[in-house]
A and B are shown apart, each in its own frame.
Chain A
Amino acid sequence: MSIKKKKKLTPIQQEYQQFAQEREPKRPILFNCVKAFFVGGFICTLGQAIQMIFVKYFHFSQEGAANPTVAVIIIITVLLTGFGVFDHIAQYAGAGTVIPITGFANTMASAAIEHRTEGFVLGVGGNMFKLSGPVIVYGVFSAFVVSLLVISLRALGVM
């Protein structure tokens, strides 16, 4: 919690914060990292295998094969999310499934499926990007700024 927020709290609230902090279960960071490493690594290896299949049997270029690979991983993730399997894997793997493109696909699919009861237009359509929106917003904005910087640096002859 930021210092600014802390100042606004009454003494009793501060006491409670400390009380809660002491009792918060310690996260096994090292073990979580090991799990994230193996699951994340496995997903990327699977991606590499799919990519090689596309290069070998569908005659994609090495670079162009990344697109269908991502699409296949997304389909698998949506299916696993729909069958309710993905949640169990994600619970175990932590960042191992959040950081690969599986995390992005999972947030979209789960938001779409979950809000289905609110109707297809406002429920599914309106909530699909609810969780994955930040990635797109910050990705696009930062890419815009970085591109303009690179372009102006190139124009100045620095890069």
Chain B
Amino acid sequence: MEKFMWAFIVGGIICVIGQLMLDGLKLTPAHTTSTLVVMGAILGGLGLYEPLVKFAGAGATVPISSFGNSLVKGALKEYESSGIIGVLTGIFQITSAGISAAIIFSFMGALIFKPKG
């Protein structure tokens, strides 16, 4: 039960940060998500994102900032096993599931659904 509570709180706080960027700094959603991804990558590089994932579970893995963290994590993991080229081959390793799922199901969605006016 505690895990749910922290997922709720941490996930909510990350969304509030996003909302403040949207409303306070008047950024577009694309700017906001890009900034959060870059922040996630930097936190991942500093090794600060992993503890947050351990602590908050889905509260840290569901927001888009975890995308940046996973990219860095995949690149570093592959670097350890196959050297410098691992940065290129490993960068999508962990996020592959998310990106592939998004492409496949969006395409299926485009096959099934018709645009609404």
Contact = CB atoms under 8 A, between A and B. Distances in A.
A77 to B, nearest CB: 8
Interface string A30-61: 00110011111111111111111000000000
B97 A99 contact: no
Contacts of B17: 99
Contacts of A71: 97-98, 101
A58 B41 CA distance: 30
Given A78-B105, A136-B99, A51 B23 contact: no
A144 interface: yes
A45 B7 contact: yes
A117 interface: yes
A97 to B, nearest CB: 8
A73 B114 contact: no
Contacts of B67: 101, 104, 135, 139
Chain B, interface size: which category? 35 or more
Contact of B37 (A40, A131, A138): A138
B114 A116 contact: yes
B37 to A, nearest CB: 4
Contacts of A151: 76, 79, 84, 87
Contacts, number: 257
Contacts of A44: 7-8, 10-12, 56, 58-59, 62-63
A99 B7 contact: no
Interface in A105-153: 105, 108-109, 111-114, 116-117, 120, 124, 128, 131-132, 134-140, 142-144, 146-151
B113 A113 contact: yes
Interface of B: 3-4, 7-24, 29-34, 36-38, 40-42, 44-45, 56-59, 61-68, 71-72, 75-76, 79, 84, 87, 91-92, 94, 97-99, 101-103, 105-110, 112-116
Interface of A: 27, 29, 32-33, 36-52, 66-71, 73-75, 78-79, 81-84, 94-96, 98-101, 103-105, 108-109, 111-114, 116-117, 120, 124, 128, 131-132, 134-140, 142-144, 146-151
